[in-house]
Amino acid sequence: MQIAEFDIELKRKNIRNMRLTIKVDGTIHLSVPLLVSQAKAEQFALSKLDWLRHASARMQALREQCRSTVLPGLSRAEAEAFMRTTEARAEEWRRRMQAQQVTWRWRRMKRAWGVCSYAHTPPVITLNKRLAFLPPELTELVIVHELSHLFHRNHSPRFHEHVRRYLPDERQREQQLKTYTPVLRAGDT
Ligand SMILES: [Zn+2]
């Protein structure tokens, strides 16, 4: 469905309220309850036009930022040295936090700096190879964050309390980490 300059994909779902979402790639979805008419859906989308224009511009800016982020070259030896020393530091944190044994893995991920998976015994913490491009204090944040998930599986206030016991400036580091989001996808588009 076309609303002003936007092409919107309409989806009927078993939900209560209409919801408009926009992805980073610019695609827009409007989810509506099963019995809502096309006219009502259009009216709703039209009422959100200001928000749409704002969000669409923001997504475009984000895409451009990703494209223009140039990562310095890293030799294989440098990358391996980084992973070894980081893993050693992560093990130090694990002992200090008295967390259980984990298996450390490395991957290139596009959406996360780290992932903690409890489906395995011992649990697996996967770290993003692109941490090599971040300042050390942010890699430290990712390590402590993932290790804290061994104690709290969610992002509840108690989880963050746990992180802050070790990194009192967690909030500032989180803010700083957000500014590095384009590094996750740099070179992909
Ligand atoms: Zn988390």
CATH number reported for the structural domain that contains residue 181 in this entry: 3.30.2010.10
Query: Pick from 68, 99, 120: which residue ends a domain?
Result: 68
Q: What is the CA(5)–ligand 1 centre distance, in A?
A: 37
CA 154 to ligand 1 center in whole angstroms: 7
* Token digits of residue 56: 């669409």
Question: How confident is residue 65, by pLDDT bands cut at 50, 70 and 90?
Answer: confident
Distance 153 CA to ligand 1 centre (A): 8
Q: How far is the CA of 148 from the centre of ligand 1 (A)?
A: 8
pLDDT at 189 over 60: no
Give me the number of domains the chain comprises.
2
Q: Tokens 């409007």 correspond to what residue?
A: 30
Q: Are residues 87 and 171 in the same domain?
A: yes
Query: Of 29, 52, 68, which residue constitutes the final position of a domain?
Result: 68
Residues 158 and 82 in one domain: yes
Q: Do 28 and 6 share a domain, yes or no?
A: yes
Q: Inform me whether the pLDDT recorded for 44 exceeds 80.
A: yes
Check whether 58 has a pLDDT greater than 70. yes
Residue 140, pLDDT above cutoff 60: yes
For the ranges 21-25, 154-158, 175-179, the maximum mean pLDDT occurs at 154-158
Task: Quote the CA–CA distance of 19 and 25 in Å, as a whole number.
Answer: 18
And the tokens for 187?
């070179």
Average pLDDT value over all residues in the chain: 92
Give 74 Cα–ligand 1 centroid separation in angstroms: 27
136 lies in the same domain as 116: yes
**What is the CB neighbour count within 10 angstroms for residue 112?**
14
Residue 144 Cα to ligand 1 middle (Å) = 10
> Are residues 130 and 96 located together in one domain of the fold?
yes
pLDDT band at 188 (very low <50, low <70, confident <90, very high): low
Q: Could you read off the pLDDT of 99-137 as tens digits, one per residue?
A: 999 999 999 999 999 999 988 899 999 999 999 999 999
User: 20: CA distance to ligand 1 center in Å?
Assistant: 26
11 C-alpha to ligand 1 centroid (Å): 30
User: Cα(84) to centroid of ligand 1, in Å?
Assistant: 23
Q: How far apart, in whole angstroms, are the C-alpha atoms of residue 148 and residue 125?
A: 11
Residues 129 and 57 in one domain: no
Residue 21 has pLDDT above 60, yes or no: yes
Q: Which of 14, 34, 68 is the last residue of a domain?
A: 68
Whether 86 and 171 map to the same domain: the answer is: yes
Percent helix, strand and coil across the chain, each rounded to 5?
50, 20, 35
174-182 average pLDDT score = 89
pLDDT-derived band at 63, boundaries 50, 70, 90:
confident
The total number of residues shown for the chain amounts to: 189
Q: Which domain, by its residues, includes 46?
A: 2-68
- pLDDT for 66: 74
Q: Which pLDDT score is estimated for 60?
A: 87
- Give the Å distance between the CA of 81 and the centre of ligand 1: 26
Q: Are residues 32 and 100 in the same domain?
A: no
The pair phi, psi for residue 6, each rounded to 5°, is -105, 140
Tokens 């779902």 belong to which residue? 13
Identify any residues that bridge with 105 across adjacent strands, giving them in sequence order.
126
